[in-house]
Chains A and B, each alone.
Chain A
Amino acid sequence: MNLAAKFRETAISVVPVMLIVFVLNFTVAPLGSELMMQFFIGGILLIIGLSVFLIGADIGLLPIGQKAGAALTSKRNLPLMLSVAFAIGVMITIAEPDVQVLANQVATVDSSMSKTLLVLMIATGVGLFVALGLARIVFQIPLRRLLIGAYAVVFVCAYFTSAEFLGIAFDSGGATTGPMTVPFILALGAGVAAVRGGKNAEDDSFGLTGLASIGPILAVLILGIMARGKTPAAETEMSAMAGEAAAGLMVFVHLLPEVLHEVFNALWPLTVMFLVFQFTLIHMPPHQFVKMIKGLVYTFFGLVFFLVGVKGGFMPAGTALGAALGGTGRGFLLIPIGLILGAVVVCAEPAVWVLNDQVETVSGGHIRRMVMLASLSMGVAVSVALSMIRVITGISLWWFLIPGYAAALILTKFCPPLFTAIAFDSGGVASGPMSSTFVLSFALGASAATGGNPVTDAFGVIAMVAMTPLIAIQILGLIYKKKEKKAAALHSIAAAPAEAVPVSAKDGE
């Protein structure tokens, strides 16, 4: 059955993380039995939550976004389309819990900054880029040109901004595109592409999320330029994080109201938008309408379980793990362990599953989700390992971001457009709640234990997680391109006279 299959899949993706932490617990980094218990319960909640969330996304979030995108395009009214897209971007960002967290982080760097202003700026950034992304599909502007242009602006702004804002800005690109917004934006783009006929329609299905995550980067960088010269107050964030771990097993119960509130906040704008769309644009028949509502309910409970598990079990374990490893005088261990953790953690990101499913569907099964998962896993593994090097040595984020993004942008020239679009989407997708809690806590713990500066050293880990998939997936694209060329060459040679090969959609592999 579908449900059982989903459970099996998510269990397969979460269990490795748990195993690794168990192994570390009994070897180099003992965490104590209470924390391990907490971590174990968290893992179970995570598996349940992820499965339920994914089922909900399948029948709720994704069809809604898809139908909305398709209906918007079918109206053939550009001002309407762009203004609705802008409104969607703004609304889902304001509601995104991660944006609130980010706003708090910025406030620790510069207390004179108004939180409302910051949230509004980020939301405007996302809204503008979502609208830009849809306009791109309509006017058929190549995604790579837009990406290069946007990142050029980003790097010019980054040059002028203060160092503290640099890490936060690039983190924000990944962090603001959370588990609710990513599926929705993904589906919105796919919907627009679905009603567009002609060649290359599938290339346009992706890319919107990638563009949307540039918005917050730019917004924070611009704020950083405005705040230049201010001195940061680094310690507050750390102590706030440490405080949470002390609550013991009751932590899950204590977290519940907070998480309920958070998820509710993320979901209600989507629900309101859905209802507005239903009665103005998409007019779904009753059966389908009820099914979508059920989907939204599932996403709600799924995400609640997931976040309670992550925050109650994984976050404290991550911090303790980082601290234990960093503090033993065997700091070099952080690098290989970061590598392994990165590889397995990405498999437990909800949005990653949604993206991989979408990729498989849009490509008609040509690009398998397991292939996507493996590439993402490799990419993120490298990024976490590099982040650990940064934590230990304190090398500036610049040295990784500039070559990384330069490589990603250069690759757009050679890589098939579909893969470029998927790659830039997967950047925002890979940096979901797992990396912004578990991996970030791990980095913070390690950074504190090795005596570094958490703000400049540890933040930035999400930026790295968001960057490496751009390269990994595009390399995958190059491999596919090469394989296809080879297969095509083989095909024309092997086409012996007697062999009449009926059309086969999958012969190309």
Chain B
Amino acid sequence: MMSNVAETVCTPGKIVISIVAHHQGERIAERAREAGAGGGTILSGRGTAENSVLEMLGIGDTEKDIVFIITPEDKAGLILNVLQETCASEKKLRGIAFVIDVHNIIKASVPFGCERESSGKTGGAGVATHELISIIVNSGYADDAMAAARQAGASGGTIINARGTGKEEDVKFFGMTIVPEKEMLLILVEKGHSGEVLDAIKELTCLEEPGSGIAYCMDVHDFISLGKK
């Protein structure tokens, strides 16, 4: 059985993230697989309103699929190209895609076994044109964070429901573990603008309490928008 351990290890690698309309995630993952990706993980989230009238009416939110594809370094460009081509020819597929450098990819291969190889360097990345701001806050607060971010110049964001695993909050209630509900807000901004957005979110009164959230930034390169222009 142990002989089945996979040999391919891709460190360092890339993570291709694509955000598209609900139910289109499978399509993206499928195309990426055809382009050489091993597979993908699809999350559901909701996109915040694109225009202020809809936002005011409270009907601007759309359902989104977020696709994570972890790939070896050399394949990321090809996958991105394939996605762009597919989306340019299909009317329904619209969204964005971008690439983040990752290292220390650990993969559990089938049936057992786990390989690990660490590498300090973040291999030849493209030029970072954008930054991805991730904000994790208590459930319900992401919309307020988004509103603040929008005032600071961000155009839109995607919200994913999540559960926290904070140590001090892991409490038992009749044998049942209570975990805090969280929301994760992803906002893409052009390189250099993340500071303003983060400052605006920091100003929010509802996020003043200690432990109410965290935020961090990542460099993103090869940002493309998918779909017909």
Contacts and interface: CB of A to CB of B under 8 A. Distances in A.
Given A2-B60, A2-B62, A3-B59, A502 B40 contact: yes
B41 A282 contact: no
Interface stretch (B79-87, B127-135, B166-174, B216-224): B166-174
Query: How large, as a class, is the contact surface on chain B?
Result: 35 or more
Contacts of B8: 498, 500
Interface in A43-87: 55, 58-59, 63, 67, 70, 73-74, 76, 78
Interface in B54-76: 54, 57-63, 65, 69-70
Interface string A279-295: 00010111110110011
B130 to A, nearest CB: 24
Contacts of A290: 58
Nearest to B62: A2
B123 interface: no
B40 A67 contact: no
Given A55-B59, A286-B206, A290-B58, 6 more contacts: A3-B59, A288-B140, A361-B44, A500-B8, A500-B107, A503-B41
A287 B143 contact: yes
A71 B176 CA distance: 15
Interface stretch (A145-153, A194-202, A224-232, A266-274): A194-202
A501 B39 contact: yes
A59 B111 CA distance: 43
Contacts, number: 139
B6 A500 contact: yes
A504 B163 contact: no
B170 A291 contact: no
A63 B111 contact: no
Interface stretch (A111-119, A348-356, A489-497): A489-497
A365 B66 CA distance: 12
Contacts of B59: 2-3, 55, 59, 298
A171 to B, nearest CB: 35
Given A196-B177, A197-B163, A285-B140, A295 B41 contact: no
A139 interface: yes
Given A63-B140, A197-B163, A505 B6 contact: no
Contact of B58 (A194, A196, A198, A295): A295
Interface stretch (B93-101, B178-186, B189-197): B178-186
Contacts of A55: 59
Given A76-B178, A502-B70, A504-B29, A67 B61 contact: no
The 5 closest A-B pairs by CB, nearest first: A495-B110, A500-B6, A285-B206, A294-B58, A197-B177
A364 interface: yes
B78 interface: no
Point out which of A63, A282, A503 has the most chain B C-beta atoms below 10 A from its C-beta.
A503
28 contacts: A2-B61, A58-B61, A63-B140, A73-B178, A74-B180, A138-B174, A138-B176, A196-B176, A196-B178, A197-B178, A285-B143, A285-B206, A287-B144, A288-B143, A291-B58, A295-B58, A365-B25, A365-B42, A495-B111, A497-B5, A497-B6, A500-B109, A502-B38, A502-B107, A505-B41, A505-B42, A505-B43, A506-B42
B41 A504 contact: yes
B4 interface: yes
Given A2-B61, A282-B140, A294-B57, A196 B147 contact: no
Q: Is the interface of A mostly helix, strand, loop or mixed?
A: helix
Contacts of B3: 497
B62 A70 contact: no
B61 A501 contact: no
A310 to B, nearest CB: 23
A499 interface: yes
Interface string B140-171: 11011001000000000000000101000011
A283 to B, nearest CB: 9
Contacts of B54: 1, 3
Interface in A131-149: 137-140
A507 interface: yes
B140 A498 contact: no
Nearest to B176: A196
B225 interface: no
Given A282-B140, A497-B5, A138 B173 contact: yes
Contacts of A364: 43-44
A195 B109 contact: no
Nearest to B212: A285
B180 A195 contact: yes
A159 B206 CA distance: 57
Contacts of B60: 2
Contacts of A288: 140-141, 143-144
A74 B176 CA distance: 11
Contacts of A138: 173-174, 176
Contacts of B141: 285, 288
B106 to A, nearest CB: 11
B158 to A, nearest CB: 14
A507 B30 CA distance: 11
A195 B139 CA distance: 11
Contacts of A286: 144, 206
A292 to B, nearest CB: 9
Nearest to A497: B4
Contacts of B25: 365
A197 B170 contact: yes
Given A287-B144, A498-B6, A59 B178 contact: no
Contacts of A58: 61
B176 A140 contact: yes
Contact of A195 (B70, B143, B178): B178
A198 B173 CA distance: 13
Contact of B173 (A73, A295, A507): A73
A194 B108 CA distance: 28
A196 B143 CA distance: 24
A141 B128 CA distance: 52
A198 B147 CA distance: 33
Contacts of A502: 37-41, 69-70, 107
